[in-house]
Amino acid sequence: MSNCWTTIQDYGLRSIGIGERILPKTDITICEQVVLIGSGLIWNIYFGIIAVFFGFWFALMLAIGKNNKLAIFRNPSNSFIFLFRGSPLFIQFFFVYELFVLLPKIGVTLDFGFLSFSLQTHWLTKAWLGGLFVLFCNTAAYSAEIFYGAIRSVPSTELEAAEAFGITGWHKFWRIIWPSMLRLAWPSYTNEAIFLFHATALIFFTGFPAWRQSGDALYYANYFSDRTFNPFLPYPIVAAYFILVTLIIISIFGFANRYLNRHLDVEQRTQIKLSINLLR
Amino acid sequence: MFNTCIDPSSIEGFIWLICYLTTAKHFAFYFSFLVVLLLLIFAAPLSLLFGFIATAGVRSSIIPIRILAKGYIHMVRGIPDVVFFLFVPLALDQLFEFIRHKIICFEQSEPIWRGTDFVVCKAAKLPLSTADLWVHQLYAFILALIAFALVFGAFAGNVLSGAMSAVPKAQTETGMAFGFTKKQTFWRILVPQMWVYAIPGLSNLWMILIKATPLLFLLGVEDIVYWARELGGSKTSLYAYPHPDWRVYYFAGLLVFYLLMTWLSGKVLNRLQSKLSHGQATMAGRELQGYQG
């Protein structure tokens, strides 16, 4: 057991470059597999949290745009959503990576006259930023569709009541539509978040290379499966980790769901119903 | 392909491009699009079959079958599919080779799993090491197909069992009242009626199946992603058609291919949905008949 403790010290933070550099090559123990794959999970959680957080706000903008009567707002939203929902995430990763590789390595200098700064484009070819960017766009597109549906199903009586009180414009949105929309969208959005978390497993399998063998959970699982020719241990370990995080996501989002529904009668409350998780 | 293409270094411009796009390797690339379509054509009915079996299993009165079917359907909920796609073909491959080893080389007593190695006798290898390349390709394709059918079967099972419980209870109860057996109500009342409820879920699944096909690449099949990387990579002057890194254009092409596929499918499925809704006691069906309210 003490042996396993040293393994945790060596490999616990291996995926972010802290600890022992060299991965175990021979006599791979179960402990090493569990610890290293768990260490890779840090990346999945990082991608998941950041993409969901920023994607949420962008999705909201897209949904409002899609709901707008004016074509100049509606069409860009629609095309963005179609582009990212209509193509496989896998191809998006490849394409965007190649696109970022083509960007000049030294960075782009933006000159606004009064202010000029150089953008460091080479970070975009790294998974932590480039992969995140794709995930962000992808989740924004899928969530936007969910939010749009929720905006459309806000009860018209609520809107009429608001108008009767003279609440219009942005005020109407933030005070009336937004709370109802969020409440209606939340169960689907929970599934979206779970789904996005599962999609993080794709990043290191696509164009984005792992730097110094610091990859995500699946990257290490694949490493062990290649090394030991035994897929029956590492992949179930990944699966177990993902199920664990999925349960955590469900409980956090369930907590938020109760908060959003606190003003309603018990029968009227929306329930989170787990839908099947599918690939993109 | 064309006579003008015999010496690529002497041609330029548009003709060069034509020649470049009609090389043998490019035809392999175009053929891989066909492989994707083939996979779709085979995987869709297979997964529907798996899903149907699982759904029937969930409703079975035999407990072990019910548990097995439920386990199968629920299994995919919490686990990323990529894990499945990596795991299932490998596991199947080992399973097949293990069975063949037990049958063909039964006199061999050495263990198959030696430490970290998986060793079966030469005759049990699948495909045989002497087999042609296309046999290896076909074998990888079939393994991938089974993986797709397994994963999407579980999804389809979910959709179908939801659709079955969406069929109004009164329908099955009427069947029972007429003295239909359980089997008869299932086949004659439940199954014909569930499709209209299943179509939205199944069309969603079809879209996802389309978007899952690039995962073939992970399974070692020379698919469109493989060829796009192979052909797009920068070619030095050693090659007949030297060019810089063009992978981004190839992937842009794939992106367009998939967008077209999903767009077309969306059109067709919408039409199918409205066709099936005709005369149904659903809101869509009523709206088709001009019912307001």
Q: Considering its fold, how many domains does chain A have in total? A: 1
pLDDT at B293: 42
Q: Which two tokens stand for residue A205?
A: 């399998």
B153 CB burial (10 A radius; 0-12, 13-18, 19+): buried
For A168: left if phi > 0, alpha if psi spans -120 to 50, otherwise beta; the answer is beta
Class of domain B3-288: mainly alpha
The reply to whether A85 falls in a domain is yes
> Which band of pLDDT confidence, cut at 50, 70 and 90, is reported for residue A63?
very high
Q: Which two tokens stand for residue A87?
A: 């193509």
Residues of B in contact with A83 (CB under 8 A): 259
Distance CA B205, CA B158 (A): 11
Extents of the domains making up chain B: 3-288
Would you call B225 and A92 a contact, using CB atoms and an 8 Å cutoff? Answer: no
Measure the CA–CA gap between A272 and B105, rounded to whole angstroms. 53
CA-CA distance, B209 to B219, in Å (whole number)? 15
Residues B251, A246: C-beta atoms closer than 8 Å = no
Query: Which of A218, A229, A242 lies closest to B116 in CB terms?
Result: A229
A238 within some domain: yes
Do A89 and B211 count as a contact with CB atoms less than 8 A apart? yes
Find the mean pLDDT for residues B98-124: 69
The alpha-carbon gap from B178 to the nearest alpha carbon of chain A, in Å, equals 36
Using CB atoms within 10 Å of the CB of residue A251, give its burial: 0 to 12 exposed, 13 to 18 middle, 19+ buried. Answer: exposed
Residue B259 pLDDT exceeds 90: yes
More confident residue, B271 or B133: B271
| Residue A99 distance to chain B (closest CA, Å) | 6
**In whole numbers, what is the pLDDT of chain B averaged over residues?**
79
Q: What is the mean pLDDT of residues B21-45?
A: 85
Indicate the pLDDT class of residue B217, thresholds 50, 70 and 90.
Answer: confident
Q: Which domain holds residue A138?
A: 36-106+119-268
In this predicted model, what pLDDT tens digit does every residue of B128-169 receive, in sequence order? 667 677 788 888 888 888 888 888 888 888 888 888 888 888
Instruction: Enumerate the residues of chain A whose CB falls inside 8 A of the CB of residue B229.
Output: 94
Cross-chain Cβ contact A225/B211 below 8 Å: no
Distance, in Å, from the CA atom of A225 to the CA atom of A218, rounded to the nearest integer, reads 10
Give the nearest partner residue to A198 out of B80, B117, B259, using CB atoms: B80
Pick B155's closest partner by Cβ from A218, A231, A278: A278
Flag whether pLDDT at A240 surpasses 80: yes
Band of the pLDDT at B72, cuts 50, 70, 90? confident
CATH number, domain of A232, equals: 1.10.3720.10
Is B213 close to A225, i.e. CB distance below 8 A?
Answer: no
Size of interface A-B (CB pairs under 8 A): 129
